[in-house]
A = this chain, B = another copy of it.
Amino acid sequence: MARTSGSHSEITGPRLRAAAQALFARHGYAAVSMRRIAAEVGVQAGALYNYIPDKQGLLFELMKSHLDELLAAWEALPKGTGARDALEAFTRFHVRFHLDRPDAVFIAYMELRNLEPANFRAIEALRRRYETVLEDILRQGAAEGAFDVADSKHAAFAVIAMLTGVTTWYRDEGRLSRAEVEDLYWSMVRKAVSA
């Protein structure tokens, strides 16, 4: 909806990020113009530069805030001590978190190649921290004899790829509830790493 001119600093910023996230997820960063984002927000393109340094900075901020939120949400989760419980917690957390943010997830996985080198390194470091969470769980479980995982690092990659794939097919209107989807993935993950 077009808006008349005036001061709207408190709402234009969030609206800009929301519009950019939705459009980047649907059409891709390179295919979306600043004019298109501005039209969605309801301002002219020039006004967006009161909130972002440039288009690249906008992409970086979206990806960084998503990964910061992902890591913070995991840290905040109450956890037990055993590796098996930790793996179940991680699996259900990952599925739930990603189903709640399909657009942010899509961008974080698809737009890495559109990041400038310094930004790419920063995002990759955050992603690596998250992968290490699962890697450590698998390594601990293998040491305890609860899991049969020869290569914790690559097993973690495989599990995360499997879990993240849920965003490509899950729809709220679909046949399965979120709880059923969690159960489905937990069943497969549990068995895949079992002794």
Q: Which of A43-75 contact B (CB under 8 A)?
A: none
What residues on B are CB-neighbors of A189 within 8 Å?
192
Binding site secondary structure of chain A: helix
Residue A193 lies at the interface, judged by CB distance under 8 Å to chain B: yes
* Count of A interface residues, CB-CB < 8 Å: 36
CB-based contact B114/A184 at 8 Å? no
Contact A27 B157 (CB under 8 A): no
Nearest-neighbour CB distance to chain B for A104, whole angstroms, equals 16
Please provide the chain A residues from 74 to 132 with a CB less than 8 Å away from any CB of chain B in the complex: 110, 113-114
Q: In chain B, what residue has the closest Cβ to A190?
A: B192
A158 pairs with B162, CB closer than 8 A: yes
Look across to chain B and name the residue whose beta carbon is closest to the beta carbon of A164: B161
Q: Are A159 and B161 in contact (CB under 8 A)?
A: no
Given contacts A114-B31, A184-B150, contact A165 B157 (CB under 8 A): yes
Chain B contacts for A187, CB-based, 8 A: 150
Contacts of A154 in B (CB 8 A): 169, 176, 181, 184
- Within 8 Å CB of A165, what residues of B? 157-158, 160-162
Interchain CA distance A81-B58 in the complex, whole Å: 53
Per the bound structure, the CA–CA distance linking A83 and B92 in Å amounts to 29
- Choice from B148, B161, B192 contacting A161 with Cβ under 8 Å: B161
